[in-house]
Structure 1
């Protein structure tokens, strides 16, 4: 194939990695391949993630993947502690523990102050060397780095300096303004290093891309290519009429815990026996043990909640369609307004009402307020949340078919890749 059509994508998340992080560039790579481009992927050989979805490998079997070993410092920590709390560390749940040990606090401090920008920083040099070799041998025209982890952008910076290749960065989340840095006890010195590294990337890159308008503005102005959805021929059957099912799918930690909603639902069950008889709550994904304990203390609600654990991407679509309301939880943080999550688009494709909890004045709020596919409300707006749920329960609100169809077309990966393709060809 013509080397001008070759693209090297550097990403930490690639199948069989599961979860949200893999979806964006897996789907963009697939669409680019369909359009006659030749995307290759450089990714770690032994990445540290627990969530795997082997079925995704079939979707990317025609995309060349170069794997390079990575050393991650927390692997040593896990080995020394017998892998205790391994999953909690990887999902960030150790940050929430009220009884953190000295080891927990030390690990958090190290993560926030010594491993900058993230624990994958030790992969930067070897990955950059490998990328440079590949560019010299294969003649790639463009390198794309996607973060987090933002160490991927430091790889791109080294490659750009050495080869002069066209470089596109993709910010799926903030860097120096990431809301978790405070929880990591990041010092002012460490934060200044984050900002310096971030600026060095933004100063050198040819084109910067991110997922929402507000995040683009916070990064000094970038091209916006939203997250999106690849739609398939899906059943649009109605949910089981014998139940009223609320579903949440994703990481559920204290940053997203809808505490007021749990208590509201418990109260609604006490007040309305018909509602109580029908209510069912499905929660799929990694859930903080403290949240499980909190729900278990609510006498009416606890028997109605089913924790499904992690679900492969293929089967999660079926779970969406079992629901009457799909719950979308944004982080309770100052920058939640910048995030337009992948989950919104997946929910949209399921043809169910969406209840978003978070910042009304946000990219998600702007989108949902303009279309009748659900509502975004503040976590504390109990009366409005109750009114929304009662309307859906009484079948007085359903997604507007035209609004839903227009959003799915606008945010399909097939449409979104148009803008990406134009950047690559500049």
Structure 2
């Protein structure tokens, strides 16, 4: 067994997609001769919690904890709601209050690379001793938050360990980065830190081909693509929703607002009486006020079902019962590389996927190659509406199904085997 230290901010009972990637890797790594030791914050301020993830942590795994200072707790003095939204990534694109502008400016320019930067120095002190005492020579950092990578970089310099940096999302090209009201010097500092991390990592792991290509322009270090994936959670729901439900599970943040979808649904409710009676729009998780206003403006409020944040288990059930699964991404060059973790759970739910995102989105090829759905750009309103009509006709005939192919490559165990081979390369 090769003992390996994994440094992550997100860990159960944290909820949301950020926790699942490394929880699943840890679950299977020992099947491939890697013994993981996990290092996490002792007192994190997670925006969402999901206690059900605790049951997936291997009982005999070593989990190290060390205190962290969380400035979002101080920000709540100004506005508890706004600080929670900022922590969870909700940045309104419309007119912002003075408090919102102030919090964004402070977040972008005082906390570089992010608000968890204060965990770096104490973690390096604590882990330097632990690595030496336990003869661990390989560490992995996963971000965001990208401040976690600074821990890895300093440990490599101080202890001479082999360092693998895992990027679940890009750094300076992530969609929200340009909305942080950065000064010129702050932008340069982010770019500098990004270059240092990429050039000092012994191995880089990313979740998409586009991110790999982007990073190859910055560093000559080896880069491997390991996407997120799915874990088997039983079969499909025996009974799909009675209504023609279009379901989205997960946060719908400002900017991720497909007006062409709301317009198409609105038009169909006016054009077809049967569609009007059958439609249901289910949005589970955090939904920004901007999107809710767009939905209401199209007269779709009567069809809206918002169950709120769901546990992972309940989210899986909702996926399996939906008629159509919605996958939505911001329409920008920067988001072409974003492959939401829920895509892979969607693919094994057995329901067709309707995706809306940038024209050259990496998701488009995955859907096509696995025969699990179709992706439309924000300029393809006519095609999108035609697809919805086609799916609705299949629904009425009882023939709306998904027929996936080649999904095994995206199983969590297969992906962990790929990761383990990278870890063993340094042995």
- Tell me whether the two structures share a fold, i.e. TM-score over 0.5: yes
Mapping for residues 201-212 of structure 1, pairs under 5 Å = 201-212=197-208
1:179 equivalent to 2:180? Answer no
Q: 1:53 aligns with which of 50, 56, 63?
A: 50
Residues 226, 395 of structure 1: CA spacing in aligned structure 2 closer, same or farther, 3 A cutoff? Answer: same
Contact 2:4 2:36 in 1 (8 A): yes
1:166 equivalent to 2:162? Answer yes
Please give the secondary structure, in 1, of the residue aligned with 2:333. coil
1:54 is displaced (CA, Å) by 0.7
What is aligned with 2:189? Answer: 193
Mapping for residues 7-406 of structure 1, pairs under 5 Å = 7-62=4-59, 63-78=61-76, 80-81=77-78, 83-96=80-93, 98-101=95-98, 103-220=99-216, 222-235=223-236, 237=238, 239-240=240-241, 242-299=242-299, 301-395=300-394, 398-399=400-401, 401=403, 404-406=404-406
Q: Determine the C-alpha separation between the residues in 2 that align with 1:59 and 1:28.
A: 11
Contact 2:164 2:204 in 1 (8 A): yes
1:61 is displaced (CA, Å) by 4.0
Please give the secondary structure, in 1, of the residue aligned with 2:326. strand
Contact 2:351 2:402 in 1 (8 A): no
Please give the secondary structure, in 2, of the residue aligned with 1:356. strand
**Please, which runs of 5 or more residues in structure 2 have no aligned partner?**
217-221
CA deviation digits over 1:286-341, x for unaligned, max 9?
01123223323333x21111111110101111111221110001122222111222
CA deviation digits over 1:218-238, x for unaligned, max 9?
011611111111113223535
Q: Determine the C-alpha separation between the residues in 2 that align with 1:83 and 1:97.
A: 20
Q: Determine the C-alpha separation between the residues in 2 that align with 1:243 and 1:117.
A: 45
TM-score under structure 2 length normalisation: 0.93
Q: Determine the C-alpha separation between the residues in 2 that align with 1:399 and 1:192.
A: 49
**Please, which runs of 5 or more residues in structure 1 have no aligned partner?**
none
Deviates more, 1:412-421 or 1:58-67: 58-67
Residues 362, 50 of structure 1: CA spacing in aligned structure 2 closer, same or farther, 3 A cutoff? Answer: closer
Q: Determine the C-alpha separation between the residues in 2 that align with 1:211 and 1:386.
A: 31
1:10 is displaced (CA, Å) by 0.4
Aligned Cα root-mean-square deviation (Å): 1.7
CA deviation digits over 1:71-100, x for unaligned, max 9?
12221121x236243322222334435241
Q: Determine the C-alpha separation between the residues in 1 that align with 2:228 and 2:47.
A: 23
Residues 362, 82 of structure 1: CA spacing in aligned structure 2 closer, same or farther, 3 A cutoff? Answer: closer
Q: Determine the C-alpha separation between the residues in 1 that align with 2:213 and 2:401.
A: 31
Question: Aligned residues, how many?
Answer: 416
Q: Determine the C-alpha separation between the residues in 1 that align with 2:274 and 2:163.
A: 58
CA deviation digits over 1:84-119, x for unaligned, max 9?
433222223344352412x32122112112211111
1:268 is displaced (CA, Å) by 0.4
Please give the secondary structure, in 2, of the residue aligned with 1:42. strand
Contact 2:240 2:321 in 1 (8 A): yes
